[in-house]
Chain A
Amino acid sequence: MRRLALTLAATALAGPAHANLFDVFGAGARSQAMAGAVAALAGDAMAAFHNPAGLTESPSAFIVGVTGLFNRTSILLTPRPLGYDPKGYGANPSARADTVEPPGTAGALLGLSAHPFSEDLAVGVAAFVPFEGFASLNTHFADEREQAFSNRLHYELLGERLESEVITFALAWRLRSWLSMGLGLMILPGAKVTAPVYARSATDLTQVDINARVGTEFSRALTAGLQVQPFEQLRVGVAFQDEVRTRIHGRSEVQVRGDEEQGVVFQELDLVTAFSPLRATLGVAWVAEGGFTASLEGTYRAWSRYTDNHNESGGFDDTVDAKAALEWPVGERTFARAGVSFTPSPVPTQTGRTSYVDNDRVGFGFGAGRDLQVFGQDLTLDIAFQVQALLTEETRKARGAYPDCAPGVRALCDESPDLAEDTPLLSAAETRGLQTGSPGFPGYTHGGYLVAASVDLRWRF
């Protein structure tokens, strides 16, 4: 209960967290239609996310849009065999259950690009703000500890991770007619929370007094990029974003009346509600006369430094994803767009203690944009749809030796170390063999798809 109070205080004051909706689908309708393969292209304010250097090629414009995300992913748990329940398993607050088609999300896209002092200097902002609030901060354990909470599995990098806002700022210069560079920041807030707790009775924890000392923090991730145009039709883009995480940390300081001998008890809290890895992108685009554009792109992501909700290393693998896209004119002022992507999962096969859930994904995007003149103002309307198909995967825990559960153990572990003889609380028979209440035991099947739909309106000024 004391930790709960601390967590609530931290969550209420932490503010928005990082999210990867842009990472998964791309920023803005044009990028989403092209499966995100836009690092080498002249763009709009969304270049602040994809490649800050692209801002120099962006007209001064304001973008407002709406994005809806439909989540059709599921995690189905394999039925448990008999005889593996730890003592008291049936008394868990929640029954073990599948995770089926969690709710989607929707939000507003906002962007601004401008050339305030010179055509060779550009600034840009790109943001996604969910309608239902800045962020949904939910943490879970990926192992047997989750049985005491939701008793389900959760998508580690999707799902709730897509329900948070994204805000990036960038500044770009055109150094030469063929070379531009950009620098930017992705800023994520965090919090440090200290909660002094005074319990009037050691036996009645409903009667406690709680204070809080909360300090907000910011995590900053540098973004940078180059765009090179060696000749008229060819564009090369290189983009970089440093690693960034949303972290809520602190401790509760618990005093119990009449227990001066124990003194103050400290309970540490260290949560990471979002993590975006270091990424480096290389994109190449061919822009033909008349506006036909073809783009190829690859992105390296350093997932090996990933830490999960409880700031424990996930043991993930670095990945390289690939994208390809086309944009072509279909009328005097209308463009059609399409793109495909393949995003390998950084999560290794979960045969051991943890049950991180993620899938390889194949993405398909398509959409269109049309330039408009309304009351003498130059507008562009862009629409996009993108499907991310999660390649179905069945995870099965490995049979073999089962070490006792302890910090640092990675193998499927035994929650009830084998006893040589009965104790007042446990019979030796109840402890023999493997006992685990991990919701991911003995396995699970996961897959489905995500659909994003976006409409943007761009006003050039």
Chain B
Amino acid sequence: MSARAIGLALALLGCEELTAGTSHFPDQIDGGVADGGRREAGAGEADAGATSLVGRWVLFVEGPQCMSAIGTQVENLVWNFYLLDVLEEGDAGDGARALRERLKICRGELSPLVGGLRSTVPDTVADALEPRDTSAYVLGDDVGAPYLGSEFVDYWGMAAIGADAVPPTAVDDPRVTDADGDGEPGVTFVTTNGLGEPVCEVRVAQRTRVRVEGVREAPGRFAGVAAVRVDQSVLDATSPLCRAGADIVPSPTPGHFVMLRVDGRGGAPLNLDLDGDGQVECDELRSSLAVIEEMGAVNRSTPDNAACR
């Protein structure tokens, strides 16, 4: 009997390679279920009430950029996931609340360019960046209340040079730092091909300015538009393909953001405290990204290259 016949026989008998099933239990939110079933009071779409916003949130920002890649203009989407702590809230008058926030980036992703080429931001880069403080205002307590965030700036691989200064371009510029601790200047992105195989590494200094403005869509969710501007200089690369700098400018396509409460309190649609230690950390956020996206809690756009030409 041939090996193929034996394989076929085993397959018919159920000896084929096993695959794990998928859960038929819906995600459970604060004791209720996420598929339209029972929800606890406060988690619905009604008035939010004056529930404190102090707690842990996830901020998802999509920022479309235009850049040149292999001789053509393409749209490149920046997808950043942050853990956002609302540390304090104060009365700003007329029913508005002033929020003091602390942001920590946990995952940075970029959409594919041309020919399957894609820059990947290793999580070690995000892990190496310190949290930064910012502020925001919520103009009311109810669903529909405007949310206005102050601009915050992430500096990757360089000192805090300010919002308008030109990023350093030379490896030996004293403002360049080895932010991810890999022994190379700046931060290191890995460019992969369509098969996910590394093509080259590129060391960059990058400033990302983000400002968000939206409304409270539910007690545990804000959403709206995001203005994202990326200024990047290539310091070094392991191949000429990656050494060519890309002139990055914001795309005419508007960016957007979603802010979800994830500490299980105050109408949070999720509790990402997976290890039950009372904290939500970047590892817990990263391991939950697939679930967050499957729930439709955040949505990613498809690059529109025509918008950049």
Determine if B122 is an interface residue (Cβ-Cβ < 8 Å): no
Most buried by A among B13, B33, B265: B13
- Distance A444 CA – B30 CA, assembled complex (angstroms): 25
Residues of the A chain whose Cβ atoms lie less than 8 Å from the Cβ of B33: 433
CB pair B18 A396 closer than 8 Å: no
CB pair B40 A429 closer than 8 Å: yes
Interface of A: prevailing SS? mixed
- Distance A181 CA – B189 CA, assembled complex (angstroms): 80
CB pair A78 B10 closer than 8 Å: no
1/0 per residue, CB under 8 A from A, across B29-41: the answer is 1111110000010
Residues of the A chain whose Cβ atoms lie less than 8 Å from the Cβ of B16: 392
Which of A72, A78, A82, A90 lies in contact with B291, CB distance below 8 A? A82
Contacts A82-B27, A82-B291, A85-B274; is A443 near B21 (CB within 8 Å)?
yes
List residues 35-80 of chain A with CB under 8 A from any CB of chain B: 72, 74, 76-80
CB pair B20 A82 closer than 8 Å: no
Residues of the B chain whose Cβ atoms lie less than 8 Å from the Cβ of A431: 31
Determine if B26 is an interface residue (Cβ-Cβ < 8 Å): yes
Contacts A78-B23, A91-B275, A444-B21; is A362 near B13 (CB within 8 Å)?
yes
Determine if A315 is an interface residue (Cβ-Cβ < 8 Å): no
Could you list 20 further interchain pairs (A-B, Cβ under 8 angstroms) beyond the known A78-B22, A84-B25?
A: A76-B20, A77-B20, A82-B27, A82-B271, A89-B274, A89-B276, A359-B14, A387-B10, A389-B13, A392-B18, A396-B24, A399-B24, A429-B264, A430-B264, A431-B31, A433-B28, A443-B23, A445-B21, A446-B18, A448-B18
- Distance A83 CA – B276 CA, assembled complex (angstroms): 11
1/0 per residue, CB under 8 A from A, across B172-195: the answer is 000000000000000000000000
CB pair A433 B31 closer than 8 Å: yes
List residues 244-279 of chain B with CB under 8 A from any CB of chain A: 264-265, 270-271, 273-277
**Chain B interface (Cβ within 8 Å of chain A)?**
10, 13-16, 18-34, 40, 264-265, 270-271, 273-277, 288, 291
CB pair B27 A83 closer than 8 Å: yes
Residues of the B chain whose Cβ atoms lie less than 8 Å from the Cβ of A72: 15
Residues of the A chain whose Cβ atoms lie less than 8 Å from the Cβ of B23: 78-81, 442-443
- Distance A446 CA – B15 CA, assembled complex (angstroms): 10
Residues of the B chain whose Cβ atoms lie less than 8 Å from the Cβ of A442: 23-25
CB pair B27 A447 closer than 8 Å: no
Residues of the B chain whose Cβ atoms lie less than 8 Å from the Cβ of A396: 21, 24
Question: For residue B43, which residue of chain A has the nearest CB?
Answer: A429
Identify the 10 closest CB pairs spanning chains A and B, nearest first.
A432-B31, A90-B275, A83-B28, A392-B14, A76-B20, A433-B31, A389-B13, A82-B27, A391-B14, A442-B23
Determine if A397 is an interface residue (Cβ-Cβ < 8 Å): yes
Residues of the A chain whose Cβ atoms lie less than 8 Å from the Cβ of B22: 78-79
- Distance A429 CA – B277 CA, assembled complex (angstroms): 16
Determine if A411 is an interface residue (Cβ-Cβ < 8 Å): no
Question: For residue A88, which residue of chain B has the nearest CB?
Answer: B276
The tally of CB-CB contacts under 8 A between chains A and B is 115
Residues of the B chain whose Cβ atoms lie less than 8 Å from the Cβ of A432: 30-32, 40
CB pair B28 A78 closer than 8 Å: no
List residues 169-191 of chain A with CB under 8 A from any CB of chain B: none
Residues of the B chain whose Cβ atoms lie less than 8 Å from the Cβ of A79: 20, 22-23
1/0 per residue, CB under 8 A from B, across A97-138: the answer is 010000000000000000000000000000000000000000
Report the minimum CB–CB distance from B102 to chain A (whole Å).
Answer: 23
CB pair A82 B10 closer than 8 Å: no
Residues of the B chain whose Cβ atoms lie less than 8 Å from the Cβ of A387: 10
CB pair A81 B15 closer than 8 Å: no
- Distance A392 CA – B13 CA, assembled complex (angstroms): 8
Residues of the B chain whose Cβ atoms lie less than 8 Å from the Cβ of A91: 275-277
CB pair B25 A74 closer than 8 Å: no
CB pair A429 B21 closer than 8 Å: no
Residues of the B chain whose Cβ atoms lie less than 8 Å from the Cβ of A85: 274, 276
Which of B28, B264, B271 lies in contact with A434, CB distance below 8 A? B28
Residues of the A chain whose Cβ atoms lie less than 8 Å from the Cβ of B18: 74, 76, 392, 445-448
- Distance A304 CA – B210 CA, assembled complex (angstroms): 66
Report the minimum CB–CB distance from A89 to chain B (whole Å).
Answer: 5
CB pair A389 B15 closer than 8 Å: yes
- Distance A434 CA – B264 CA, assembled complex (angstroms): 15
- Distance A89 CA – B277 CA, assembled complex (angstroms): 9
CB pair A394 B21 closer than 8 Å: yes
Give 24 pairs: A residue, B residue, CB < 8 Å, sorted on A.
A72-B15, A76-B20, A79-B20, A80-B23, A81-B26, A82-B28, A82-B270, A82-B271, A83-B270, A85-B274, A89-B274, A89-B275, A90-B273, A389-B13, A391-B13, A396-B24, A430-B264, A432-B30, A432-B32, A441-B25, A443-B24, A445-B19, A447-B15, A449-B10
Residues of the A chain whose Cβ atoms lie less than 8 Å from the Cβ of B30: 83, 429, 432
1/0 per residue, CB under 8 A from B, across A447-460: the answer is 11100000000000
Determine if A87 is an interface residue (Cβ-Cβ < 8 Å): yes
Determine if A296 is an interface residue (Cβ-Cβ < 8 Å): no
CB pair B29 A83 closer than 8 Å: yes
Question: For residue A78, which residue of chain B has the nearest CB?
Answer: B21
Determine if A142 is an interface residue (Cβ-Cβ < 8 Å): no
Determine if A390 is an interface residue (Cβ-Cβ < 8 Å): yes
Residues of the A chain whose Cβ atoms lie less than 8 Å from the Cβ of B31: 83, 418, 429, 431-433
CB pair B288 A82 closer than 8 Å: yes
Residues of the B chain whose Cβ atoms lie less than 8 Å from the Cβ of A98: 20
Residues of the B chain whose Cβ atoms lie less than 8 Å from the Cβ of A80: 23
Residues of the A chain whose Cβ atoms lie less than 8 Å from the Cβ of B19: 76, 445
Residues of the B chain whose Cβ atoms lie less than 8 Å from the Cβ of A448: 15, 18
Report the minimum CB–CB distance from B85 to chain A (whole Å).
Answer: 19
CB pair A390 B276 closer than 8 Å: no
CB pair B32 A433 closer than 8 Å: yes
